[in-house]
Amino acid sequence: MIVLRQSRNESAGSSEENVYQDVYRVLLAGMLISSTLFAVGLLRVLLHPETYPLTPEWVRSHYHWRAIWQGLKQFDAFTLMMVATALLILTPVLRVVISIWAFWVDRDYKFVVVTSIVLVVIALSVVLSHFGVK
Amino acid sequence: MQYSLHFALTLLGAACLAGFLGALLGVGGGVFIVPVMVLLFHLPVKVAVAASIVSVIATSNAGGSSYVDQRITNLKLAMSLEIATTIGALTGSVLAIYLQQWLMLTIFSLMLAYMSYAAFTTRNLDDQKIASEEFAKAAPDRLSRYLELHGSYHDLAANRDVQYIVNGSAIGAAVSYLAGLTSGMLGVGGGVLKVSAMNRYMNVPMKVAVGTSKLMIGVTAAVSSILFFLAGLIHFPVVAPVALGTTIGATIGTMVMNRLHSSLLKWIFTALMAYLAYGMLAKGLAMRFGIYLPSLGV
């Protein structure tokens, strides 16, 4: 995250340029980290094949911080792939958050509003899945 | 589900191929990987859609970042239209959770049939418009003027900077909503709809439309993915080979795309998509009505 802002002062000439650089870095980092985790998880499960039930209840039973922590400590393939998926999903969300901040720094308030609306819709998907959508 | 070496490796290979083919046609891998998972791997259509939508984020990150790096993407246009695509994705993914399997198969089949037709009829008139600077001459509408959606990019093929004025915001937003809905419901990127809407109705040059659409696809797919993730519909051991495979395939496909002859490609894709459309329809009909069409190998 620190490297994200290195160039802001250097290229003060074009404010939109900063948003472009930030967006690029977030996308690239998200892609590399999640791909690596997917590859490690996949290698792990190929060495020790397992049987996974395909029920939503079974998948959801892994959604606990303690289970995730335990799984990561044991280098469990399912947990690795779950974390990779979560990071992959969060990449574009982070891209939206970073854009809001970059537009704010550049005082482009119109686009702070536009991008914030997108973030609200994303938040709505979390709210929806908590209430009702099962 | 027995997660065997054979299953994982063949799925990885199939995803590579789907990503490769998708990049060649510029449609992303979802259009091919969902039918492959359903017809060849016999996975439930909802599991296939959920896995595919996550892999769509991966290919959007990969493709989207390179267009952003080359300054081809119009970020402001992307963020404005994302409001419509994300709301569409929300609607689409809720529908996907509730719709019956046979109906999803039928709708997917219809989309493939349409794409098969569209792949063949789309004409790219950009070269003429770039030469006559027509993109810069259009009048903006009120919204696009207010949001300053105009832009420019450097076109390598024409070796010049291309200026363009964006208009047609209303129809652009409407089609983006539809694209988001399709994306959330069927696990595809929906890029074809967005690109053609931007290029045809919003006066956006083709390359900018493709780059902007690629970026928008990531956020759109993230909305549906969050919903599927929290509902427990995403099966991570299925996602891993699919996401990795499509990313690898799409990267290679993008590299070789420019060296291939496009009219032959169009024929191949038209035939392939029509074939997959048939396969999905046959499965849907068998599931709901017990009508068994000749399988033709799928």
DSSP character string of B113-134: HHHHHHHHH----HHHHHHTTG
Interacting residues of A82 by C-beta distance below 8 A, sequence separation 6+: A62, A68, A71, B236
**pTM for this predicted structure:** 0.86
Structural domain contains residue B118:
yes
- Min Cα distance A50 → chain B (Å) is 6
Structural domain contains residue B268:
yes
d(CA B253, CA B250): 5
**CB nearest A51 (choices: B1, B87, B240):** B1
- Contact between B59 and B246 under an 8 Å Cβ cutoff? The reply is yes
Per-residue pLDDT tens listing for chain B (298 residues): 666 778 888 999 999 999 888 877 777 778 889 999 998 888 889 899 999 999 999 888 877 787 888 888 899 999 999 999 999 999 999 999 888 889 999 999 999 888 888 777 766 677 778 878 888 888 888 888 888 888 888 887 778 888 899 988 999 999 999 999 999 999 998 888 888 889 888 999 888 888 899 889 999 999 999 999 998 889 998 999 999 999 888 888 877 766 666 667 777 778 888 888 888 888 888 888 877 777 665 5
Structural domain contains residue B295:
no
Domain that holds residue B228: 5-289
Q: Is A10 exposed, middle or buried (0-12, 13-18, 19+ CB in 10 A)?
A: exposed
What are the chain A neighbours of B99 within 8 Å (beta carbons)? none
Q: Do A85 and B54 touch (CB under 8 A)?
A: yes
Q: Do B234 and A85 touch (CB under 8 A)?
A: yes
Structural domain contains residue B273:
yes
Tokens at B62, concatenated? 């990969």
Q: Give how many domains chain B has, as a whole number.
A: 1
Structural domain contains residue B157:
yes
